[in-house]
Amino acid sequence: MKKIGAVLFLFILILVGIFSGYNYKKQVLVQTEEFSQKIDSFPPSQSLSKRKPILLEMDRFVQDNFPYNNPEGLIVYTWRFSPLFSFFNLRLEKAIGEIETSQPTKNEIFLWYIYNMGVIIKSENTTVGVDLGQEWISPKLTKLADLVDLLIFSHPHPDHLSLKLARRATENGIPIVLPSGVVGREAFYGERFGEKTMNMAEAVAKFAKIKNKKLIIEMAPGETKTIKGVKITAYPATHRGPKHLRSTPTRWFYFEIANTRFLQTDDAEPKETPLFSFSNKVDVLLTAQPRINPEQILTINPQVVLLLHHHELGHGKDACRNNLNDYLHLAKEVEKQKPKIKVIPIIWGEKIRIATK
Can you give the pLDDT at residue 28? 59
The CATH number of whichever domain residue 287 belongs to comes to 3.60.15.10
Can you give the pLDDT at residue 70? 45
- 118-122 and 127-130 as β-strands: parallel, antiparallel, unpaired? antiparallel
Burial class (CB in 10 A: 0-12, 13-18, 19+), 254: buried
Q: Are residues 166 and 29 in the same domain?
A: no
Q: Are residues 156 and 114 in the same domain?
A: yes
Quote the CA–CA distance of 3 and 142 in Å, as a whole number.
49
Q: Angle of helix 2-40 relative to helix 48-64, nearest 10 degrees?
A: 160
Q: Are residues 239 and 127 in the same domain?
A: yes
Q: Are residues 3 and 119 in the same domain?
A: no
Task: Kindly state the percentage of the chain with pLDDT values over 70.
Answer: 79
Quote the CA–CA distance of 176 and 46 in Å, as a whole number.
34
Tens-digit pLDDT profile for residues 240-266: 888 777 878 899 999 999 999 999 997
Q: How many domains does the chain have?
A: 2
pLDDT bucket at 188, cuts 50 / 70 / 90:
very low
Q: Are residues 60 and 27 in the same domain?
A: no
Q: Are residues 26 and 117 in the same domain?
A: no
Q: Are residues 58 and 131 in the same domain?
A: yes
CB 95 within 8 A of CB 78: no
pTM above 0.75, yes or no: yes
Q: Are residues 120 and 254 in the same domain?
A: yes
Q: Are residues 63 and 28 in the same domain?
A: no
pLDDT bucket at 193, cuts 50 / 70 / 90:
very low
Averaged pLDDT score across all residues of the chain: 83
Q: Are residues 195 and 341 in the same domain?
A: yes
Tens-digit pLDDT profile for residues 63-117: 988 876 544 445 555 677 788 888 999 999 999 999 999 999 999 999 999 999 9
DSSP, res 135: G
Q: Are residues 260 and 142 in the same domain?
A: yes
Q: Tell me the one-letter amino acid at 178.
A: L
Q: Are residues 75 and 211 in the same domain?
A: yes
User: The domain containing residue 18 runs over which residues?
Assistant: 1-40
Asked whether the predicted pLDDT for residue 303 surpasses 70, the reply is: yes
pLDDT bucket at 301, cuts 50 / 70 / 90:
very high
